[in-house]
Amino acid sequence: MLTLRLYFAQRLTAIIMAPLTLGHLVVMIYAVQDGLSVAEILARTRGSVTWFLFYGSFVLAVAVHAAIGLRVIISEWLGVRGVMLSFFSWAVLVLLLFLGGRAVWMVTLAGGLQ
Amino acid sequence: MVDTETFLDVSIWRDQGGDGHFETYQVPRLANQTILDVVSWVQQHIDPTLSYRFACRVGMCGSCAMMVNGEPRWTCRTHVKKVVVEDCLEIAPLRNLPVIKDLVVDMDPFFDKWVAANAVFEPSRTRDDPMAPITPDDPMRIVADGAIECINCAVCYAACDVVAANPEYLGPAALNRSWSLVNDSRDAGQAQRLHAVSAGGGCHNCHSQQSCAKFCPNELNPTLSISGLKRATLKSLLRWDR
Amino acid sequence: MIESHRGHSLWFAFILHRLSGIGLALFLPVHFYMLSLALTDPGQLDGFLAFTDLLLVKWAEFGLVFLLAVHMFGGMRLMALEFLPWSPRQKTYAAMVVALAFFVSTGFFLQAI
């Protein structure tokens, strides 16, 4: 189920995400103090190219990583093979890219640059 | 010391073509008794139709591996006292291979994958050429040393959950052999070998559960070998020389 | 039939990595949808964020942070296994992954309550 190229993509996205995840953990632990609100989140992220690039690359990497990871799992545990397996992998990729990309766009650059 | 007063409750898998089930036998417990001794005792004293494989009885030939209490083991070198649980033993054919009869499995899929992994030496010289000198301190030779001494017993193959989940997966033994050949400077089939271990059932499917290394009776580490193949294939991909 | 060949720590490390990955993959679409509410329906998102102040939800968040941390540290362990010289201390590293993930998620929980 995992060919060399898929393996390479899986490890490459993992290496990209390691520092991004650490950063995300720090942001979470910092931001969760005194509770969260929409105003607080937007104040931090709105109009910020830095947060757009940070979370934009995170979404790209995680969409690829999750699509390949779930591909392996459904083939090994549910016995899905062939065309169905490829269809499922691409569907996961597209879904996560769409939802993730939309979310990042909305909390960062949707209202224009600052 | 022989203690004929105690008996083992031994469940052995009986299968004559699709009607597989466990049958229980009472076997006298002896000192220094191996699992192979127990199976042989049943065959010699209770049911001569019980089928199983063995040859050397000293851990060389790799033909007597079975599942013992759920774990793959070389039965000729496994003492009863090491694995027995409350005087009970459960002995079954190796996992991940089709059963022919009772404790005998069909090893063809196992060895077919050695061929599929190009785990066969491809000579680069003929018999007329001089011998290639390889010194014991050659770095590649030292790496290869860690992957040789496999007795083809298929214990690692039976221990591997990736083999169970993915019928194409070449498995720890074949990939371990491929890795020893990748480190053989006399071999001429490296490009094809890296290609063979990179396909749908190749080394990249290994999840490093390391059951192969845990159960290998010769204490080899196929996970280490497979990670070597992952690096070698990745290097070759990034150089675009495949 | 007994299936005891799986009962060792590195197999548990594998299953933890796989289950945490599934958990994160299922959580992500929800996470992304909630975030995009910040623009489309901020009132609803603020209502949801107020709901996350409940202690029970804090525990669920603790679980999510643990999943993320254990998957990340576990992934680092796997890549070290594959790309660095082999270490005989595989079980120690697997235990360290769980300990670090627990440390990080507890840190999050203590800040959250």
Task: Render pLDDT for B90-141 as a digit per residue (tens, 0 to 9).
Answer: 999 999 999 999 999 999 999 999 999 999 999 999 999 998 889 999 999 9
Question: Which segments of chain B are extended strands (E)?
Answer: 7-14, 21-28, 65-68, 71-74, 88-92, 99-101, 104-105
Tell me if chain C has a CB within 8 Å of the CB of B209. yes
Q: Does residue B26 fall inside a structural domain?
A: yes
CATH match for A4-107 among 2.30.29, 1.10.287, 1.10.760, 1.20.1300: 1.20.1300
Q: Is the pLDDT of residue B224 over 70?
A: yes
Say if residue B14 is in the same domain as residue B113: no
Q: Evaluate whether C10 touches B210 at the Cβ level (below 8 Å).
A: yes
Per-position DSSP letters for C69-96, written without gaps between them: HHHHHHHHHHHHHHHSPP-S-HHHHHHH
| Cβ contacts of B190 within 8 Å, gap of 6 or more | B182
| Pairwise CB contact (< 8 Å): A96 & C49 | no
Contacts of A72 in chain B (CB under 8 A): 205
Domain range for B229: 108-238
Residue in the structure block whose two tokens are 């999050």? C108
CA distances from B204 to A9, A24, B234, C41, C82 (A): 12, 29, 10, 44, 10
How far apart are the CA of C9 and the nearest CA of chain B, in angstroms?
A: 9
Say if residue B156 is in the same domain as residue B84: no
Boundary of a domain, candidates B105, B134, B159: B105
**C68-112, pLDDT tens digit by residue?**
999 999 999 999 999 999 999 999 999 999 999 999 999 999 988
SS3 B24: strand
Can you give the CATH number for the domain in which B18 is found? 3.10.20.30
Considering just the CA atoms, what is the radius of gyration of chain A in Å?
A: 17
Per-position DSSP letters for B83-134, written without gaps between them: H-BTTEEEEEPPTTS-EEETTEE--HHHHHHHHHTT-S--BSS-TTSPPPP-
Give the C-alpha separation, C13 to B62, whole Å.
Answer: 30
| Pairwise CB contact (< 8 Å): B199 & A5 | no
Give the C-alpha separation, B98 to B106, whole Å.
Answer: 6
Instruction: Return the pLDDT at A114.
Output: 58
Q: Is the pLDDT of residue B143 over 50?
A: yes
Chain C residue at shortest CA distance from B68: C2
Q: What CATH number has the domain spanning C13-112?
A: 1.20.1300.10
Say if residue B101 is in the same domain as residue B129: no
**B24-45, pLDDT tens digit by residue?**
999 999 999 999 999 999 999 9
Say if residue B162 is in the same domain as residue B186: yes
pLDDT band at B242 (very low <50, low <70, confident <90, very high): very low
Question: φ and ψ at B75, to 5 degrees?
Answer: -75, -25
Which candidate, B27, B29, B25, places its Cα nearest to that of B3?
B29
Say if residue B157 is in the same domain as residue B219: yes
Give the C-alpha separation, B37 to C44, whole Å.
Answer: 72
- What amino acid is encoded at C93 in this protein? Y
* Dihedral-angle region of residue B29 (phi above 0 means left; psi in -120 to 50 means alpha; beta otherwise): beta
| Pairwise CB contact (< 8 Å): C82 & B221 | no
Say if residue B47 is in the same domain as residue B115: no
Domains of chain C by residue range: 13-112
| Pairwise CB contact (< 8 Å): A107 & C38 | yes
Please list, residue by residue across B40-74, b when 16 or more beta carbons sit within 10 angstroms of its beta carbon and e when fewer do.
bbbbeeeeeebebbbeebeeebbbbbbbbbbbbbb
Cα atoms found within 13 Å of the Cα of residue B15, Cβ hemisphere only: 18
pLDDT band at B16 (very low <50, low <70, confident <90, very high): confident
Question: φ and ψ at B137, to 5 degrees?
Answer: -95, 10
How far apart are the CA of B205 and the nearest CA of chain A, in angstroms?
A: 5
Q: Does residue B2 fall inside a structural domain?
A: no
Residue A24 has a CB neighbour count (10 Å cut-off) of: 17
Instruction: Return the pLDDT at B3.
Output: 52
**Angle CA A21–C79–B111, to nearest 5:** 140
| Pairwise CB contact (< 8 Å): A22 & C35 | no
Say if residue B85 is in the same domain as residue B158: no
Number of domains in chain B: 2
CA distances from B55 to A29, B80, B83 (A): 63, 19, 22
Q: Could you give the ipTM of this predicted complex?
A: 0.92
Say if residue B79 is in the same domain as residue B178: no
Boundary of a domain, candidates B82, B105, B128: B105
The answer to whether the predicted template modeling score (pTM) of the entire model surpasses 0.90 is yes
Can you give the CATH number for the domain in which B148 is found? 1.10.1060.10
> Residue B95 burial (CB < 10 Å; 0-12/13-18/19+)?
buried
CA distances from B193 to B168, B188, B189 (A): 16, 10, 6
Instruction: Return the pLDDT at B200.
Output: 83
SS3 A82: helix
Q: Is the pLDDT of residue B4 over 60?
A: no
**A7-65, pLDDT tens digit by residue?**
999 999 999 999 999 999 999 999 888 778 888 888 888 888 999 999 999 999 999 99
Q: Is the pLDDT of residue A79 over 70?
A: yes
Give the C-alpha separation, C85 to B207, whole Å.
Answer: 18
